[in-house]
Chains A and B, each alone.
Chain A
Amino acid sequence: MNKPYQLFHHATEAIRADAGIMERAIDPPTPTCAYCNREWSAVENPGVALAYRYDTGLAYEYLCTTCYTPRIGAHRMLGIDSYRGNKKTPCYGKLGMLNSSGAVITGDGILHLALRIKPYERFKEGWMGRNGQLHQCSSEQLLIQLEQRGRLHEEQGFLYIQQFGNKADNFMAGLALTRAKTEVWSNSDQDARVFDLHAAHTLAEIIRAHDLTTKAKRATFWRDIKQWAQSGRYTDRLVKWEQETPGADMILAALPADPADCAGIDKRVQAIIEAQG
């Protein structure tokens, strides 16, 4: 019943196989995995633990193979991240070190990474880069692009990773699977959040229908709406915006129910408009 972990495990199988981590496996000395808190019988490789510590002098944490994955240097899948020390020792790219980069894992277990320009340039020669699984865009743009190409299916479920962040324990502890586009789980090393992709599509349609696509690219178009949605304050500026904007009542009605979701609604709608051309 741990579908998000199964999907993550399936999508990252090659990273673990390349690193040969099973040679370092030990019998679990703790009742549960330190990150996902699942019992050792319920994890993807039952009864197998890996010891990890952040630095010498710090205590070991015992992790299941799935939660250990962000700590593995993916030398074949990603490639060299940097060279360290006087001897220029190569340091391989790790999922857990891709701060401010995100990913989407489709229902059939394909990992697509959304990278910024510098990590993209570093890793584009790796296996994932050559296989078309690296994308130079934001994680939200990647999600919308894959949705447009019909790669995301609600029945199968998919994993949307907004960013891997720098706290792999937090990231792995709360992995959540998306089963409906009205409630997309945004996994990150922060607290898990949900957003309504369906509402963003509705808003994009309304904006397109009222010929507001150019205006909707400006931050000022969204400023007062977002403030209203997040705090419930109905300002004079919003009244003026309503008077000036055709279809304003429809836009306000189509905003997501969750006020926290409205914080990023502008970027989401802009990405949809951009993807639709």
Chain B
Amino acid sequence: MPRTNGFNQTDSLFRLVLKLHAPLILPQTTPRLDSLLQEAMARRHQDWQTRHDLPLKFDSALGVYRASQMIFGMTAQQSIASSTIKFATQEHGLDRAKVKKPKRRIRKDGGIHVSKMTSHTGYYAPYVLFYAQGDPEAVERLLAMLSGIGREYANGFGYFTIAQTMLVHQGPGANQPWRFRPLPAGTTNDVPFDPIPGVAHLVPNGEHVDVVRPRRMLRETMPSE
């Protein structure tokens, strides 16, 4: 087998299960496994500009890594819950050094200015899952470098630990579960979901192009613990 960047490029189709320990705030685009691995590689090499080789199979026909977007995993005992989380947002582009007279001080705990906080939806599910094709061991090693997923991960939201990686049987071509991700526009007949047109990057650090994508929130019921 050819080796790329030290990874054993295998073609195993696997399911990666992450145990979620804190509410997750979804960004506008649902996180994908290839984007997470790109971030882990960038941290490993301290280089956020380069597009790194990932331990995933690259589908040259579609021009994407065979890796799904995040899917919420439920059990018979525990479903998905949501709550509103409020915190102060950044002042975009404002040079804080030049701010002479801030009119109000926004406290982190809200206080009397709680209405000034921006509300976000926090989701809590027992697990989140990804389907992918590639080298599961290398994926696990890389993901161990990350601790959170979604917005505000640096403040503890979306904190996860790796729960399980298991091989899954290959389904028919168009129904393979890694296809639950943005795919190039025009592949409408080859997707296992109701396609929604949109704009996204197909590979990490890539250009934004027209795509068809599944819904932002996908759910899957898992066997009980």
Contact = CB atoms under 8 A, between A and B. Distances in A.
Interface residues of A, number: 39
A173 B199 CA distance: 16
A249 interface: no
Given A61-B93, A62-B93, A191-B25, A1 B216 contact: no
Interface stretch (A8-16, A18-26, A51-59, A75-83): A51-59
Nearest to A33: B93
Contact of A169 (B92, B199, B209, B215): B92
B92 A259 contact: no
Contacts of B96: 59
Contact of A183 (B98, B121, B216, B219): B216
Contact of B217 (A170, A190, A257): A257
A58 B101 contact: yes
B118 A259 contact: no
B107 to A, nearest CB: 17
B118 A182 contact: no
B199 A55 contact: no
Interface in A182-205: 182-183, 189-194
B100 A57 contact: yes
Given A61-B94, A194-B216, A230 B120 contact: no
A48 to B, nearest CB: 16
Contacts of A54: 103
A260 B124 CA distance: 11
B95 interface: yes
Q: Chain A at the B interface: mostly helix, strand, loop or mixed?
A: loop
B49 interface: no
A179 interface: yes
A180 interface: yes
Contacts of A41: none
B165 to A, nearest CB: 26
B100 A191 contact: no
Contacts of B156: none
A52 to B, nearest CB: 11
Contacts of A258: 82, 216-217
A45 interface: no
Nearest to B209: A1
Interface in A229-259: 230-232, 257-259
A37 interface: yes
A35 B120 contact: no
A197 to B, nearest CB: 13
Contacts of B216: 183, 194, 258
Contacts of A37: 92-93
Nearest to B83: A230
A259 B25 contact: no
Contacts of A232: 78-81
A3 interface: yes
B164 interface: no
A165 to B, nearest CB: 9
A230 B81 contact: yes
B120 A190 contact: yes
Contacts of A180: 194, 196-197
23 contacts: A3-B199, A32-B93, A34-B92, A37-B92, A37-B93, A57-B101, A58-B101, A59-B96, A61-B93, A176-B28, A179-B198, A180-B196, A180-B197, A182-B194, A191-B25, A191-B118, A191-B121, A193-B121, A194-B217, A232-B81, A259-B79, A259-B81, A260-B121
Given A54-B103, A179-B197, 20 more contacts: A1-B210, A34-B94, A37-B93, A58-B99, A167-B89, A180-B194, A182-B215, A183-B216, A190-B120, A191-B121, A194-B216, A230-B81, A257-B219, A258-B82, A258-B216, A258-B217, A259-B79, A259-B123, A260-B82, A263-B82
